[in-house]
Amino acid sequence: MTRLALLLTLALLCVTSLFVGVADLSPMALLSDPAALDLLWTSRGPRTVAVVITGGALAVSGTIMQMIVRNRFVEPMTAGTGQGAALGILLVTLFAPSLPILLKMALASAVALATSTVFLFMVNRLPPTQPMLVPLVGLIYGGIIGAGVLFVAYQADLLQYIDIWMNGDFSGVLQGRYELLWIAAAVALLSYLAADQFAIVGMGRTASVNLGLNYTQVVVTGLLSISVVTALTVVTVGMIPFVGLVVPNIVSRLSGDNLRATLPLTAVSGAALVLASDIMGRMIRYPYEIPVGSVFGVLGAVVFLWLLYAPRRHA
């Protein structure tokens, strides 16, 4: 019943997203106006698809990172992975601006993977009795990398350029400018095939090895998945923080920690919440837009705090 309700909510939000924006578009116009069909095909449709893929993929990546780090208060965009992707794009822009977009994405993913590996290395050396140190270290680590990116961009007169990567926004999504996100969707789907293995990794190295799991291989696979999804998101629409933090915690609190059962719920919930934030961002200051990251920060924080203080539905 929960899955059906989530799917219906997401479908309703998708339909709403197609008809909300500066340019007037109505269902009746699609039947008689070629310009309306062109608007739907080149702008509203791609934007809606991009939001759904981004929200779902980031939520899944956040869940995987939380399993690998064994901490519910980390996510890629605030633990150095998103900042590493932005650093990779900045380096490519400075030293190899003529590379094809796929190579730029690959280099950004490589840098994001490196920064994620460094974060995991630091986390493994923190005292296990102090779990709150993990998100604090992640915030500081990501802040240092982000500050370095901004400093280099300032020196190279690229501040306006870098601002696009640091603030997630879907207003520039058009047909032909979002298709890389389908790779992120494929990576998130493939991650579902290893859901059980990621759940075992969340039990720790010792338990994973005792259960016959190749711990290192699964961790590397998870980090690679997180890095690719994060890099593609940053390259296409910019950084959207807190999706990978808020959504997995909401789903975990309501439905438990069985990743095989909850990972689809996480993806659909992430897509629905990000899409709802995008629609609100288009409507609050119409005809201007508020970045989806700002709206989601407020909306997600309210839902997250409510869940923290609300009584559990099960013992």
pLDDT at 308: 67
Q: Is residue 45 part of a domain?
A: no
Whether pTM exceeds 0.95: no
Task: Please indicate, yes or no, if residue 44 is contained in any of the structural domains.
Answer: no
First to last CA, the chain: 20
Torsion 139-141-144-150 (CA) sign? negative
Please report whether residue 25 resides in a domain.
no
Query: What are the φ/ψ torsions at residue 233 (nearest 5 degrees)?
Result: -65, -45
- The runs of H, that is alpha helices, within 132-258 are 133-155, 159-166, 181-193, 195-201, 205-210, 215-236, 243-255
Based on the structure, what is the number of domains in the chain?
1
Task: Give phi and psi for 3, each to the nearest 5.
Answer: -65, -45
Q: Is residue 55 part of a domain?
A: no
Tell me the mean pLDDT per 10 residues along the chain, length 315. 78 85 70 74 84 90 85 80 82 82 79 83 76 80 85 81 73 76 87 83 81 82 83 80 84 80 87 89 82 80 72 52
> Cα–Cα distance between 313 and 2 in angstroms, integer?
14
The pLDDT score that the predictor gives to residue 115 is 85
In a domain, 13, yes or no: no
Which pLDDT score is estimated for 129?
Answer: 67
pLDDT value at residue 29:
65
Contacts 24+ apart (CB under 8 A), 207-210: none
Q: Is residue 168 part of a domain?
A: yes
pLDDT given for residue 1 in this prediction: 47
Bond from prior residue into 100 cis (ω within 30 degrees of 0) = no
CATH of the domain at 184: 1.10.3470.10
Structural domain including 95 reads: 2-8+61-309
Q: Looking up tokens 């690679």, which residue turns up?
A: 224
Q: Which residues contact 198 (CB under 8 A, 6 or more apart)?
A: 63, 64, 67, 68, 191, 218, 222, 259
Residue 123 lies in a domain: yes
In a domain, 286, yes or no: yes
